[in-house]
Structure 1
């Protein structure tokens, strides 16, 4: 057996310097003298041995290390290579998993990329970010992130020990990096490890992520927004067939984290009665915790109905690191803050408001964003979301950055 790639290509993979790892890793078909064979390559940091498994044929093929002790390759004579698996031995244990570099199908279409580049993709949040999906009969999570000036981008999380050498992403023509990771699911914490042209590393939360960890942690969390069953059909139909400009309105504005607190000794429960994490308010109010979205539905809605308001206006709920900002310094524009629960809990809160005849208005903050290292600032090692000129790109009094509204992709992110 001989390798059909040169050492420089292997060095690029090992050194996180390849913009398209699919060119090297995964399965590659070759035909010679009327025979069809496949070469499977895998870069498995710290692995001691690896095999390719063909479940249907019940065959196993030992991979050989090539040029680097953790770069493995094997050639298999077979006309067709279906969803093979890798058996990996590392640190005294073994496990079997699908190879992410076998799943080559891109989820973003040329039309998606065109619309995003001109700033007109009004459902780009369905394409970028982390989305549970199924490819070739295998369930997993599809990741996509815009980082056009990055040298390399990887998905990192508990599933790979936060090691950016694994799960390196592929860069497309418009600067969007993507990768499908099989067998991941809802609840996984992750970030993007982004390297700039000089190799400096930035660990970033997902700009399009739908959920984040409770502060002070900053990782994004894979979630599925489609698994909540709404019950506000009557409200939606009524809203559809009435003119809001001809209806009386009275608005009660509040900050959910300040309106009412619970006791830290009272453990909140989730939708199925499970115990939730207690999120304390601050050291200035010992023994107090934030109410969950579900608890707020129970306590706030009767209060609003008693006062006779038709709507509530909620100060920003997008994820933010600093409690004292009241949500006006956002790092996760597509994630509701996890201080009060998960996205499904917020859906329940809004659902209950609608069922009780109460409209919900959410404040939105497109004017600036903070400089926190895990957020949008200097996202790919360049001034990507913000203006490079500090005279245009910084609110000196707030210590925050201003969005570069002249960039199509940034406007598309906001609208």
Structure 2
């Protein structure tokens, strides 16, 4: 079968409705194409209303939000920041922006997020070395809630502030609360492949009004209150535009339906591929958690197949189907070769055996059957 025989099925493409055009057209008609404007304020209010956060600042990317979040937490040159190894590089890059050092922590095998035992081990060891971590970045990988009760209790015990990287987890919950609202600072991403998108963009949420004001100040080049351009601090060009915020407003009207679709896609795969013993679906929701299932992820069981995830990925490509390996652990990346690492076997094993399947919220039953059929071709004897 040749790949051009079928339209391409993408991993997680944008899914727009008609709502977005209403806000974008209004912005153009009113000539609100500069960064500030009613859509920007409205988008921030929409996020606060949906998540329960007191304050939101919409930014150019989730990476920018992590960067400014770490600034708020006082991270600077020579500091150390705890961070999961099993995550996208954007989680850790802002640590380097600030001249600090990431201290990587392994995953646990259920939610695939940071392991509480390894976290405690890392903190105690860094303290013994006279290097108490300045902050903890807590990630909800693929939209899956981490073991928040345990992780937050450890952070509180050692008085380490938490930046909650919920870039992939808008719409997920833990104990009835939206993810992104458990840390001192929370971060979301609206990149093109996320559950909702602004084309590119992100947001920082916090219950601290002073921090929200400081974030807006820093994100708009840190211009001092004066009739001329005066600057007493380093600033950044990080604000989201009013046009893109309009896309975000329309997308926020659809967030619940998008979460529902992603969860249904995961359930469909799990049900209709139960006859393929080599496929293990994960990660697993914690008892108090509900995932948005941003991406459906699987691992291959070596007891049932010798096929590798890369062979599966290449086979899917022959059917014009996009898939992707799980995140390569950051402690295995050349960029972070000198960073401390606690544990490592769990996330390394997940990377070796894992794959992300197409999960877009606009996938049809026909699309799902195409993916399932291609998987059976290579994984069933």
Coarse TM-score class (shorter-chain normalised): under 0.3
Highest RCO, 1 vs 2 (Cα 8 Å, sep ≥ 6): 2
Q: TM-score, normalization: structure 2? A: 0.25
Give the number of the structure whose residues are more often helix, by fraction: 2
